[in-house]
């Protein structure tokens, strides 16, 4: 009987579908993988490429994880190599840049045992570890270690960017004022994170603002009232829709719901720090359990934030101010 494909087959014990599992190089290569390439079908040739490619990545990562210890012992000198760079290039084809990255990472994860273990064991790409180490602390490193395992690089880039923006926001709110070099508030003396506008205000609007200000009218309060009314209008619309919501098995989201979400978020991702277009409407309450499209629990997200949302990290819902209000 022909063996299941080692890359895209079914797990014999659970029946769960696998996606690019790491092959075990300690086991003999299946007979089906030993044909001459010219005798393979397209499907067999592609499977062979997947199998060897996955194995190559895994063992390359494991080799990189050994380099800091090789360097510490100066093992490369004992084996006749002039430098750690020559050692890594001749044994594994690594560039000087990759070697420096590995050695630098080892120092930066010294007080972060979960990430340190991942580096030493070659569990994930060194580039992924390098991306998250900039926001890693002894307090959050275990959480980040789990993220590195499941998130693709694009989502990790988004996660790191979000965390840095939040850190900058918290710093700006703590500093206040502008004597330290931070920018002046747009209106009034209160320090805000978004102290500069990312769009141009029409001249006639500026003129009206100035006229109101000269007459002693609080422009901040006027704008705040306008924004509050907008928010209340959207909230009321969602509440009205929620009263008519019925359970369904269909993933179709009505035009009315899509319209109110667009009114609230435009065409962009609903994460406040994200400028990417929304590509999916995410259910903050699992659709498989709620079986409805309650707009109070829907969030337009970009591809990367949708992946992060499904990594079961509720911390990122703090960037959607209303997401946890009813959950």
Report the 3 state secondary structure along 159-215: HHHHHHHHHHHHHHHHHCCCCCCCCCCCCCCCCCCCCCCCCCCCHHHHHHHHHHHHC
Same domain, 215 and 291: yes
Which secondary structure element, helix H or strand E, spans residue 149, and what is its range?
Answer: helix 141-150
Q: Which of 129, 159, 189 is the last residue of a domain?
A: 159
Q: Give the domain extent around 118.
A: 31-159
Percent of the chain clearing pLDDT 70 (strictly above):
76
- 8-state DSSP, 280: E
Residue 4, domain member (yes or no): no
Same domain, 120 and 41: yes
Same domain, 155 and 216: no
pLDDT tens digits for range 96-149? 999 999 999 999 999 999 999 999 998 889 999 999 998 998 888 998 998 888
Same domain, 152 and 53: yes
Same domain, 45 and 151: yes
Does the pLDDT of residue 297 top 70, yes or no?
A: yes
- pLDDT recorded at residue 5: 40
Q: Which of 159, 182, 212 is the last residue of a domain?
A: 159
pLDDT tens digits for range 140-199? 899 899 888 888 898 889 888 888 887 766 554 443 434 444 333 333 333 333 456 777
Residue 14, domain member (yes or no): no
- What confidence tier does 23 reach under pLDDT thresholds 50, 70, 90? low
- What confidence tier does 37 reach under pLDDT thresholds 50, 70, 90? confident
Q: Which of 4 and 295 is assigned the larger pLDDT?
A: 295
Separation of alpha carbons 92 and 280, rounded Å:
41
The answer to whether the CB of 193 falls within 8 A of the CB of 171 is no
- pLDDT recorded at residue 56: 92
**How far is it between the farthest Cα atoms of the chain?**
89
Does the pLDDT of residue 64 top 90, yes or no?
A: yes
Does the pLDDT of residue 237 top 70, yes or no?
A: yes
Separation of alpha carbons 297 and 287, rounded Å:
10
Same domain, 237 and 151: no
Average pLDDT of span 60-72: 94
Percent of the chain clearing pLDDT 90 (strictly above):
42
Same domain, 89 and 147: yes
Residue 100, domain member (yes or no): yes
- What confidence tier does 43 reach under pLDDT thresholds 50, 70, 90? very high
Tokens of 181: 């070099």
What is the distance, to the nearest Å, from the Cα of residue 236 to the centroid of all Cα atoms in its chain? 32
- pLDDT recorded at residue 312: 55
What does pLDDT average to over the chain?
A: 79
Separation of alpha carbons 36 and 113, rounded Å:
45
Does the pLDDT of residue 279 top 80, yes or no?
A: yes
Residue 326, domain member (yes or no): no
What is the distance, to the nearest Å, from the Cα of residue 287 to the centroid of all Cα atoms in its chain? 22
Same domain, 155 and 37: yes
Residue 26, domain member (yes or no): no
Predicted structure pTM score: 0.59
Tokens of 184: 């002046």
Average pLDDT of span 56-77: 94
The answer to whether the CB of 310 falls within 8 A of the CB of 297 is no
Residue 327, domain member (yes or no): no
Residue 190, domain member (yes or no): no
Same domain, 149 and 224: no
- pLDDT recorded at residue 174: 42
Name 190's Cβ contacts closer than 8 Å, sequence gap at least 6.
none
Separation of alpha carbons 201 and 207, rounded Å:
10
- pLDDT recorded at residue 105: 92
Separation of alpha carbons 230 and 182, rounded Å:
30
Residue 164, domain member (yes or no): no
Same domain, 208 and 305: yes
Does the pLDDT of residue 76 top 60, yes or no?
A: yes
Q: Could you give the number of structural domains in the chain? A: 2
């Amino acid at each position: 009987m022909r063996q299941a494909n080692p890359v895209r087959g079914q797990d014999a014990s659970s029946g769960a579908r696998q996606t690019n599992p790491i092959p075990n190089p300690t086991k003999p290569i299946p007979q089906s993988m030993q044909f001459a390439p010219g005798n393979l079908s397209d499907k067999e040739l592609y499977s062979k490429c997947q199998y060897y490619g996955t194995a190559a990545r895994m063992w390359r990562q494991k080799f990189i994880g050994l380099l800091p210890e090789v360097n510490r012992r100066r093992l490369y000198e004992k084996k006749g190599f002039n430098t750690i760079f020559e050692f890594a290039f001749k044994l594994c084809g690594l560039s000087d840049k990759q070697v420096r990255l590995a050695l630098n990472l080892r120092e930066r994860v010294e007080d972060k045992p979960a990430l340190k273990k991942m580096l030493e064991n070659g569990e994930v790409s060194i580039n992924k570890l390098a991306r998250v180490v900039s926001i890693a602390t002894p307090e959050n490193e275990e959480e980040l270690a789990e993220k590195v395992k499941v998130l693709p690089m694009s989502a990790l880039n988004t996660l790191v960017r979000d965390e840095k923006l939040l850190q900058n926001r918290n710093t700006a709110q703590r500093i206040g004022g502008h004597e330290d070099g931070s920018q002046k508030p747009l209106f009034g003396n209160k320090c805000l994170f978004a102290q500069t506008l990312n769009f141009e205000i029409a001249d006639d609007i500026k003129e009206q603002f100035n006229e109101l200000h000269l007459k002693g009218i609080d422009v901040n309060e006027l704008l705040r009232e306008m924004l509050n009314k907008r928010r209340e209008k959207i909230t009321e619309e969602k509440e009205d829709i929620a009263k008519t919501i019925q359970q369904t098995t269909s993933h179709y989201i009505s035009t009315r719901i899509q319209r109110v979400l667009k009114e609230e978020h435009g065409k962009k991702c609903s994460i406040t720090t994200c400028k990417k277009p929304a590509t999916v409407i995410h259910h903050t309450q699992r659709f498989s359990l709620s079986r409805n499209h309650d707009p109070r629990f829907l969030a337009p997200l970009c591809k990367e934030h949708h992946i992060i949302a499904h990594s079961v990290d509720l911390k990122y819902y703090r960037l959607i101010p209303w997401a946890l209000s009813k959950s």
